[in-house]
Structure 1
Amino acid sequence: MANFRWKKSAEALEKEIEQDKKLIDSVKAGDESSVTDLLSEGASPDATEYNRSLFYASKNYLTPLQLAVKLNFPKVVATLIDHCADVNAKDRFDVTAVHMAAEKGHLECLQHLLEGGADCNVSTKYSKYGSYTATPHPGGTTALHLAATNNHVKCTVELIWYGADYNAVDEYGRTSLYIAAQHGFTECVHQHLNNAIRMDILSIPVKDTNETPLHECVRHGLSSCVSSLLEHGSDVNHRNDAGMSALHLAVVSGEKYSKRILRDLTTKGYNTDVNLTDKQGSSPLHYVCFNDHSNQERRPDAAAFLIAYGADFNIKNKAGDNLLQQELRNQKEERAILESIVNCSLKLPSLELLCPTMCASNPSQQGYNRNENASPSGMSKYEWYRSFCRDPRTLQHCCRYVIRQTLGGQRLRKVPTLPLPTTLKEYLLLDVETFS
């Protein structure tokens, strides 16, 4: 009797497995009618017995619902959900149908899943040493991570609306916002910021580099994203493992260099410190003035802008020359940096003290009428600079100096908001307001 019952049970099990296979085949074909018939006949909507046999054989498996989502058959997905398919079923790596829909960008399938009560915050398994390492995604990956990785913007928005945790991190410490920024996906970054609860979305640094989404957006030259991140409170002074802030990256970003990004970081960031130094002891001003860093382009306009907003120009290059000495010795007649230093200094060291050797071959010109508001093109740098050392500075300049010193670096960026005539605000900021 016992043997008869076991034989009957085995036959029933074999029949269930065969029926599950038929359901799987019908799903693969996208045959909604056949799927409906099989479910009506009592087929398991999750192909339970068939997938159990795969599990015992240490093979990966997909439920009919996962398979329908992967192949993008939204009507089949809806049918399976109507017949109580498990919307949160996982494969052996804890990948769910929601993960698959987000990864592939199958929006309609994703909507059916979310409306059917699927959990959008399930995270994938971490690799286990000595067990398995070939996981399809990093541990801790959520559907939102996958939507961002593949730039499926509509899926990203849908997930956030249904409560996806936009601050969840994977095993590398990456949020979906960071991933979007890392890939340079402008719209995806904006949709994160526009649809999340305003200040609740965090610019969390990743583990390997300690960089934030702001660093990545600066690196990719995503100016509108930088502005939006700053509005959402991203820390402009956060430094990566190399000690570089977003402002450092803004001036060393090569082809992606953007004056707008430099301006926004300086003027829109919360308490932006333009004098932060990296692990080499270099501030952003070092990078735009000196040639101490390989492949770094000299940027006089950026240097003048930084000095106007409080950058300390009493810096030295690797040869030991301060910035003023370098600019006077520079063979080029470009004077943007030199003029900025002159315009925000009360007392200037003499040429004889700064460049005694060069002064011997560049004697001062007598009878020159100094004009602080111009840089005479017919005059050498030495002659022009000497004119400011010779006589006391004007009262107007002294007033500017005192006001700038009183404001300090942190408050200079507020000058454009003061109820003053535009010309006066430009004068206080050394006439660099045209920098854009």
Structure 2
Amino acid sequence: MSQGSFVFTPTALRSLERDKELLERQQYQRRLTTPGASSYFLRKEVRERGLASSHRSSQPPAFMCQDPVVQNALYTGNLEAVRQLLSKEAPVNLVIQPQGGDMIWVKEDGLWSLTYEQDLTTPLHITAGRGFTECLKHLLLRGANVDLAPGGTTALHEACQECQPECAKLLLSYGANANAVNEDGLMPLHVCTEQESIDCAKYLLQFGAAVNGRSLEEDDTPLHVASRHGLPDHVNLYLRYGAHLEHQNDEGKTPLNAACAQPQEKATLGRYCQVCQHLIDAGAKVLTEDLQHQTPLHLACKNVNPDVVDLLLKNGARVNDMCYGGNAPMHNVLKEVAYKQDHEPERVVQALLNYGSIRVWPGALPQVLKYCCARPRVIEALLNAYDRLKVTEKWVEAVPSDVFKQHQGFFESVFALTQTPRSLQHLARFKLRTYLDGRLHKVVPTLPLPTFLKKYLLLDFRDYIH
């Protein structure tokens, strides 16, 4: 194919125009038949408040493109082919329906068909999402509509979601709307959900993105999103740009609540602690409850993040507040011990007890032993909060034989209490802890005692029971 030529004939272009009209009618009908669609688009128009710039009306029309040659050039980032195929004589505002792998029901044939239909896209979306900066620049220089969104999302959303900062910067410099709302009610800042998207977030803010813009469905701000995904750099960035700390979303969660509420893998615990530290340093309130009356401490205990629990307790969290379901933070962590053993749940139990948490009702200890026995240090911290224990046969039956063999020394020390009272040393500790109830964490570090005694008073782990 020679330079400047184009694959579409005049007849094909007229066919493209007819396809475009058909596509617009289908999209309009789909909007009308989708439940809640009319209200969504109304809310979108209200939110954007006329942000759709007047220059869009002068943009060239979009054409449906199903040519595999064009699609292949775009998906592979072949700059030379893109320049030849999308030259001055060719339309640049193309709508592409890529091929995927979804089964759909073909009513006329009465069978399922593997049609591979996916969301509509454009050359800008394809190149921006894959980091093909030079191809993207060529399209923009050709006058591609920078905010075209046939599939319900803009190319800027695509670049930010795929962590392509140079493409995001290029789109913004060509007038992309930094506050465009996609079909899910999200602005570009809301889709910056990976650590690698930090530069995208910086460019968005530099080009006027609303740091307190709210998503339409959940009323989340970008700070909620960054906190929920454990992104400390994003949180710091948004705070510097004046992000609101105490805005509560539709679930009543502030960004701090959102960070504590998100299920966390062990590898991400440190990131979430950094996020919470940044938020608290900026003045976030640790006692704010969500709609279920759960405080950040309830949520951090449920997700078993020991460092976050320590941070919240040091900043005034209350250990005995009850949520709507009647659970205190101690209840939340004990329910998760069996599922998050590698999160060191014993540290959470220890911290809560040292800050004056309510204890487990003695009659429920066999049940707790049954579900927490795989983590003996949790049991150790709990049992050391009592001056006497009524160990019965139920206790022995609660521990599976394989767990008993794995931690035999510890459980033998527990079961030995059926015939032996607690040691005098432990009773002295219990008496002092009872006297300092609620003040233990403040007073013990100031006492003129050896370090090992201070640790003993604060339930340091010995891996056996006195």
Q: TM-score range by the shorter chain?
A: 0.5 to 0.7
Residue pairs, 1:360-399, within 5 angstroms: 380=417, 383-385=420-422
Distance 2:83 2:201 in 1: 31
Q: 1:162 to 1:213 in 2, by over 3 A?
A: farther
Task: Answer yes or no: is the 8 Å Cα contact 1:99–1:143 preserved in 2.
Answer: yes
Aligned residues: 342
Task: Answer yes or no: is the 8 Å Cα contact 1:219–1:249 preserved in 2.
Answer: no
The Cα of 1:338 is off from its aligned counterpart by 3.9
Alignment partner of 1:79 is 2:138: yes
Choose from 428, 431, 434 the match for 2:458: 431
The Cα of 1:415 is off from its aligned counterpart by 5.9
Report what 2:349 is aligned to: 303
Distance 1:258 1:401 in 2: 27
Report what 1:165 is aligned to: 210
Choose from 141, 151, 154 the match for 2:186: 141
Distance 1:285 1:61 in 2: 49
Length-normalised TM-score, structure 2: 0.53
Q: 1:381 to 1:299 in 2, by over 3 A?
A: farther
Residue pairs, 1:8-23, within 5 angstroms: none
The Cα of 1:273 is off from its aligned counterpart by 1.0
| Superposition RMSD in Å | 5.5
Q: 1:23 to 1:336 in 2, by over 3 A?
A: closer
Q: Once the two structures are superposed, what CA deviation does each residue of 1:132-183 show, in whole Å capped at 9, x if it has no partner?
A: xxxxx41x2112223327974553454345443344332123445545665x
Task: Answer yes or no: is the 8 Å Cα contact 2:306–2:345 preserved in 1.
Answer: no
Q: 1:79 to 1:209 in 2, by over 3 A?
A: same
Task: Answer yes or no: is the 8 Å Cα contact 2:386–2:430 preserved in 1.
Answer: no
Q: Once the two structures are superposed, what CA deviation does each residue of 1:185-204 show, in whole Å capped at 9, x if it has no partner?
A: 55xx1231232234735475
Q: Percent identity?
A: 20
Q: Which amino acid aligns with 1:380?
A: L
Gaps of 5+ in 1: 1-10, 52-59, 125-136, 343-350, 359-376
Report what 2:322 is aligned to: 277
Gaps of 5+ in 2: 1-10, 19-59, 74-78, 97-118, 394-412
Distance 1:381 1:299 in 2: 27
Alignment partner of 1:100 is 2:158: yes
Distance 2:455 2:140 in 1: 67
Distance 2:449 2:206 in 1: 44
Report what 1:191 is aligned to: 233
Task: Answer yes or no: is the 8 Å Cα contact 1:275–1:284 preserved in 2.
Answer: yes
Q: 1:237 to 1:44 in 2, by over 3 A?
A: same
**3-state DSSP of counterpart to 2:193:** helix
Report what 1:207 is aligned to: 250
Task: Answer yes or no: is the 8 Å Cα contact 2:354–2:441 preserved in 1.
Answer: no
Q: Which amino acid aligns with 1:111?
A: K
- Largest Rg, 1 or 2: 1
Q: Once the two structures are superposed, what CA deviation does each residue of 1:383-413 show, in whole Å capped at 9, x if it has no partner?
A: 5349599xxx97x9987766x35xx45xx65
The Cα of 1:427 is off from its aligned counterpart by 2.8
